[in-house]
């Protein structure tokens, strides 16, 4: 398993770096779109559609919607705020699981939820890419999420006692969440000091980083909730040793839109 994980990571890392840093415009949108469409193919299975016809059909619908969003960037002003509302609702669904299942809307409702998860994440990345220092903004949100994951793993391993969401993901603890949050905040603080941010800018950055990290955990738990409901361990086996695409991007699907909206509110860019 470890060998598979290393080989897969060694192949995917240069592809990801090339895609994020060297591609621009339509090429970048297509690159991210491929990842999102694959995530959609996996999500249809989590929604209860096991047949390939339905799963491929759902992936094609997502591809068509991505093309529409690309041609009509004015929709960004609706898509990203809607995403923030969705992730607030998702927080309630996670906390209320398994009773919250009755609010999903069955299999079709679960497909709609997949759209709320995947489309804004794509839209936010395309938007970030167009803003000043776009490449580094994308790196920044990923570092926040990955640092939180690493910090949560080690602090949870050493100190984890109180379960965060035992009905959804028994392995996660409050101690892990706090450890991951502290890790990301320390990185944010270090960057702020290095770049000479004012006290006000530093406070806002720390507050924003905390929101992004917390919502990234909700993204992770949301996929875990659907996997648990479906009796599925991994979203697919597309990435040997790592599971599926959704297993790798679940936290980012929540973090990236919220990160983008926060930057927009702070006046970083426009849409």
Domain boundaries, the chain: 2-265
Instruction: Give the count of beta carbons closer than 10 Å to the beta carbon of residue 223.
Output: 25
Alpha-carbon span 64 to 49, nearest angstrom: 20
C-alpha closest to that of 114 among 32, 47, 30: 47
Report the predicted TM-score, pTM, of the whole model to 2 decimal places.
0.94
Contact at 8 Å (CB) between 212 and 262?
A: yes
The pLDDT profile of the chain, 271 residues, written as one tens digit per residue, is 545 666 776 777 788 878 888 899 999 999 999 999 999 999 999 999 999 999 999 999 999 999 999 999 999 999 999 999 999 999 999 999 999 999 998 999 999 999 999 999 999 999 999 998 999 999 999 999 999 999 999 999 988 889 999 999 988 999 999 999 999 999 999 999 999 999 999 999 999 999 999 999 999 999 999 999 988 887 887 776 667 899 889 999 999 999 999 999 998 877 7
> Dmax over Cα atoms in the chain, in whole Å?
55
Residues 6+ apart with CB under 8 A from 237: 243, 244
Judged by DSSP in three states, 49 sits in coil
């Amino acid at each position: 398993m470890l060998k598979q994980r290393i080989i897969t990571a060694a192949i995917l890392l240069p592809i990801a770096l090339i895609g994020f840093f060297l591609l621009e415009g339509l090429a970048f949108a297509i690159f991210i779109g491929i990842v999102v469409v694959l995530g959609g193919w996996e999500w249809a299975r989590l929604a209860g559609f096991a047949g390939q016809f339905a799963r491929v059909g759902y992936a094609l619908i997502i591809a068509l919607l991505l093309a529409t969003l690309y041609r009509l960037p004015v929709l960004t002003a609706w898509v990203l705020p809607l995403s923030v509302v969705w992730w607030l609702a998702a927080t309630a669904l996670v906390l209320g699981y398994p009773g919250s299942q009755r609010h999903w809307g069955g299999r079709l409702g679960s497909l709609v939820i997949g759209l709320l998860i995947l489309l804004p994440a794509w839209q936010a990345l395309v938007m970030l890419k167009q803003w000043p220092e776009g490449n580094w903004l994308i790196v920044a949100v990923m570092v926040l999420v990955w640092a939180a994951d690493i910090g949560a793993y080690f602090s949870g391993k050493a100190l984890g006692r109180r379960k965060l969401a035992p009905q959804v993901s028994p392995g996660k603890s409050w101690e892990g969440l706090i450890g991951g949050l502290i890790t990301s905040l320390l990185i944010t603080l270090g960057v702020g000091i290095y770049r000479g941010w004012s006290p006000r800018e530093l406070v806002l950055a720390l507050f924003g980083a905390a929101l992004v990290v917390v919502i990234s955990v909700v993204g992770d738990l949301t996929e875990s909730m659907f996997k648990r409901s479906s009796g599925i361990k991994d979203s697919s086996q597309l990435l040997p040793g790592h599971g599926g695409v959704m297993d790798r991007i679940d936290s980012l699907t929540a973090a990236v839109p919220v990160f983008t909206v926060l930057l927009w509110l702070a006046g970083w860019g426009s849409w």
